A = this chain, B = another copy of it.
Amino acid sequence: MLYLYDGALDVPTILKNWYEAEATSNYGAYIPFVGTVRSENNISGLSFDIYEPILEKWFDSWQLKAKAKGAIIKMAHSRGDVMLHESSYIAAVFSPKRRVALMLIEEFVEDFKASAPIWKYDLKQNKRIYALERSTAISGSGILGVFS
């Protein structure tokens, strides 16, 4: 339940499809998180690279954590360019109970920001500039830089 799309996400359709897919699964809470490209720093948009093999493993490990609490997670992300006010990211939790859903969406989104192998670039004057200062080194980074 990891969906990658070229370009911007069709948010209403994805939210509708996910809601309807779980309509009779007896989940009491559905919490999507939708991330949209904001106008700041004179960008015309953002662009994304994704390394899918590790993203899939990371997502599968979260799906197991969710399952242990009776919940499920769905996620959609854009590859390539996403322009101002378009959306590039949706994560959603379905859970029988609201407390689990509220905790899980927060933990998932924060770990996504820290760990998911996705790289962000600002689109500015036809250039694609790596957003290093807004990026986070994955836990365990730097081992190849230590003199041994």
Contacts and interface: CB of A to CB of B under 8 A. Distances in A.
Contacts of A102: 33, 105-106, 109-110
A12 interface: yes
A116 to B, nearest CB: 14
Given A35-B98, A98-B109, A16 B26 contact: no
A105 B31 CA distance: 10
Contacts of A110: 102
A23 interface: yes
A109 B102 CA distance: 9
Q: Which of A26, A34, A38, A85 has the most CB of B within 10 A?
A: A34
A26 B12 contact: no
B35 A32 contact: no
Interface string A83-119: 0010000000000101001100110011001000000
A58 interface: no
B23 A12 contact: no
A30 interface: yes
A31 B29 contact: no
A101 B15 CA distance: 18
Contacts of A32: 15, 31-32
B26 A34 contact: no
